[in-house]
Amino acid sequence: MYELYSKGQIQERVKEIATEINNTYGDEQLTVIGILNGSFMFVSDLVRQLTMPIELDFFGAKSYMGRKRNPGIHFTKEFDIDLKGKNVLVVEDIVDSGNTMFIVLDNFSGREPKSLRLCTLLDKPTKREKIVHMDWIGFEIPNKFVIGYGLDYYGLYRNLSNICVL
């Protein structure tokens, strides 16, 4: 196991992204939806740097391989916020194949938000299957399995303050 991004590097990048998000929305209210479980740490650091009125909840999405290796997504947590007419910012830990975010964003756009943007901590573009537009990316990483800062390997390592390659 070796470190890819230190705690300090992550915090610095979170601050930069937050500044861009603050500049994009100004004083307009923002609805932040974090995708569980991986985004919890990124969300909590990011929202503390945002300056507009924030409404926050989490959405649970788990990917699985169905028959004929067709990827499917199982929603594990719904939220009560009505997205209609809202500025919605989806916060995800990592976009890999893109299948999870493709389905989640399609679901959310059907709820008629005023705007829908995606902020992902990590982008792993090498095995992309679905094109997903990412408005903010923390770091683009090579095709390695990473853990820490919310990301897990069989449920472990989410609590690390840095990002490591396993």
Catalytic residues: 96
Burial class from Cβ neighbours inside 10 Å (0-12, 13-18, 19+) for residue 127 reads: exposed
d(CA 93, CA 75): 16
Say if CB 33 and CB 88 are below 8 A apart: yes
Residue 160 interface partner, choices Mg ion, ligand IMP, none, CB cut-off 5-8 Å depending on type: none
Residues that bind ligand IMP (CB under 6 A): 38, 63, 93-101, 124, 145-147, 151
**How far is Cα 111 from Cα 130, in angstroms, rounded to an integer?**
21
Q: How far is the CB of 93 from ligand IMP (least distance, A)?
A: 6
| Binding of residue 138 to Mg ion (CB under 5 A) | no
User: What's the min distance (Å) between Cβ of 124 and ligand IMP?
Assistant: 6
Residue 63: contacted member of ligand IMP, Mg ion, none (CB under 5 to 8 Å, by partner type): ligand IMP
Please name which of 153, 118, 141, 102 lies closest in space to residue 10, comparing C-alpha atoms.
141
Edge to edge, what strands does the sheet with 2-5 contain? 2-5, 163-165, 146-147
The smaller minimum CB distance to ligand IMP, of residues 38 and 113, is found at: 38
- Minimum CB distance to Mg ion, residue 111 (Å): 20
Lookup result for tokens 């947590």 = 77
The one of Mg ion, ligand IMP, none whose footprint includes residue 116, by CB under 5 to 8 A per kind, is none
Piece of 9-17, 69-77, 88-96, 123-131 that binds Mg ion (CB under 5 A): 88-96
For the chain, the straight-line distance linking the first and the last C-alpha, in angstroms and rounded, comes to 5
Contact status: 38 vs Mg ion (CB under 5 A): yes
Applying CB under 5 A, the residues found at the interface with Mg ion are: 38, 93
